[in-house]
Amino acid sequence: MDSPNPRRNGYHETPPESRLSREREAQEVLALLEKTVTDAQDETLRSRTKRLFLIQGDAGIGKTWFMGYLREVIKARYPDWFLVPETYNAEYFIGNTPYHNFLAVLQSCDRALSIQCLDELPDPVQATIEQVSEWAAQLEENLNKRQTSPLVLFFDELEWWVGESNKEVVYQLYRVVWQMLLRQTQLPCLIISAARRPPALYNPLLRLALTTYRLSGFSPAQLEKLVQHSPVVQLRPFIERNAQGNPWITQLLDGALSPQPATFDEPQKAAIRKRIFGEVVGERLSTDLKTVLHNLAKQRPGGFQPEDELLPEGHITLNRLIDASFVDFNEEIRRYVVASMLVRLVKEYTNVPQA
């Protein structure tokens, strides 16, 4: 069965008729941002303000979409705030040197503030750390001259460029950026980010600055807007049971099952389930690791230990799955567990009701 593979659309790529409201969540996040801006104006509270905001949620729950939605809400409600135009993510930095990435963030801040009075950026290839630091100091001085409105940056997939050990150099550079931006005393600088789970922030300043907002799934009525109208009666129980508020999985299920959902036999259903699982995991794991994760989700819904026979290299395989944010340690049962949304996807299907 060859159905088109749905992709996760950003807010601006979603047709207006398919946009699901996140007004309640936006209002709650805005309340946090407003409190930070207010507290930053009080000398006794300024040093304790939470300026790094993490939108946390399962894969496909709509974090990236919500970031775009939140940006538009902020732009409409606070026209005097300075919004950095880019939303940084892992793909944005691929192929660039760490210096280039570091300078790109600073340049974006400068452009958002419309200062445009800094010296020319150092060549990312030729620049020394002293030149970069000197340029950053100029921006910091200009930031301190702005006393009225906050500067807002958006970072997606936070755990990918903070938590991975093979990106230590990039992490160190962004730690410097954050330290510079988060210590501003005159201009409140807010960093809004998204991740499946809070990354390991080794710097005390970042840990103190972080506050987490848990993004929930959508209601079945909202999810129906993303499902084709013709098979919705047949698919509703199936989608409600498997999507669990996740709009991306809803689109995948709809695309895979809409032709003739009631006629699939069990082997076909198993193949569909595995294909959808693979698309949710995406390119973040190799084919072999996808198979391991799929088997764990199917055969170990109650958790597993590092010596489990399904882990071909024990701790090595386990750590790779943890780094990809698809496995967590459950403190209550003292076992490792696959993300609940992935476990739901590989559960055996019951028959989809006939129309």
Final residue in a domain of this structure, among 171, 187, 214 = 214
- Residue 144 sits in a domain whose CATH number is 3.40.50.300
The total number of structural domains that make up the chain: 2
173 in the same domain as 53: yes
Residue 350: its pLDDT value, please?
A: 40
- What burial class does residue 149 get, using C-beta atoms within 10 Å of its C-beta: 0-12 exposed, 13-18 middle, 19+ buried? middle
112 in the same domain as 177: yes
Work out the average pLDDT over 90-116: 66
More confident residue, 236 or 351: 236
In a domain, 14, yes or no: no
205 in the same domain as 231: no
Q: Is pLDDT above 70 for 154? A: yes
Confidence at 26, pLDDT banded by 50, 70, 90: very high
188 in the same domain as 141: yes
In the Cβ-directed half-sphere of 210, how many Cα atoms lie within 13 Å? 20
Work out the average pLDDT over 79-92: 77
207 in the same domain as 225: no
For residues 57 and 231, give the distance between their C-alpha atoms in angstroms, rounded to a whole number: 29
More confident residue, 53 or 19: 53
Residue 304: its pLDDT value, please?
A: 94
144 in the same domain as 250: no
200 in the same domain as 257: no
For residues 86 and 154, give the distance between their C-alpha atoms in angstroms, rounded to a whole number: 7
Work out the average pLDDT over 51-77: 89
Q: Is pLDDT above 90 for 181? A: no
Confidence at 165, pLDDT banded by 50, 70, 90: very low
N- to C-terminal Cα separation, the chain = 21
In a domain, 209, yes or no: yes
Final residue in a domain of this structure, among 168, 186, 214 = 214
233 in the same domain as 145: no
For residues 228 and 47, give the distance between their C-alpha atoms in angstroms, rounded to a whole number: 51
In a domain, 26, yes or no: yes
- 63-67, 113-117, 162-166, 181-185: least confidently modelled range: 162-166
Residue 45: its pLDDT value, please?
A: 79
In a domain, 228, yes or no: yes
88 in the same domain as 175: yes
Residue 138: its pLDDT value, please?
A: 73
Residue 355: its pLDDT value, please?
A: 33
In a domain, 3, yes or no: no
Q: Which of 92-106, 122-136, 174-188, 296-310 has the highest mean pLDDT?
A: 296-310
110 in the same domain as 40: yes
In a domain, 13, yes or no: no
For residues 64 and 247, give the distance between their C-alpha atoms in angstroms, rounded to a whole number: 12
pLDDT over 70 for what percent of the chain? 69
226 in the same domain as 207: no
Confidence at 337, pLDDT banded by 50, 70, 90: very high
In a domain, 259, yes or no: yes
Mean pLDDT, the chain, integer: 77
62 vs 14, 215, 252, CA distance in Å?
12, 8, 14
In a domain, 7, yes or no: no
162 in the same domain as 27: yes
Helix (H, G, I), strand (E, B) or coil at 327: strand
Residue 237: its pLDDT value, please?
A: 77
| Domain containing residue 324 | 220-346
Q: What string of DSSP letters covers 86-139? A: EEE-HHHHTTS-HHHHHHHHHHHHHHHHT---SPPPPPTTT--HHHHHHHHHHH
Unique residue bearing structure tokens 């987490």: 212
- 5-19, 47-61, 119-133, 323-337: least confidently modelled range: 119-133
Residue 352: its pLDDT value, please?
A: 39
Final residue in a domain of this structure, among 190, 214, 238 = 214
Residue 94: its pLDDT value, please?
A: 59
Residue 168: its pLDDT value, please?
A: 57
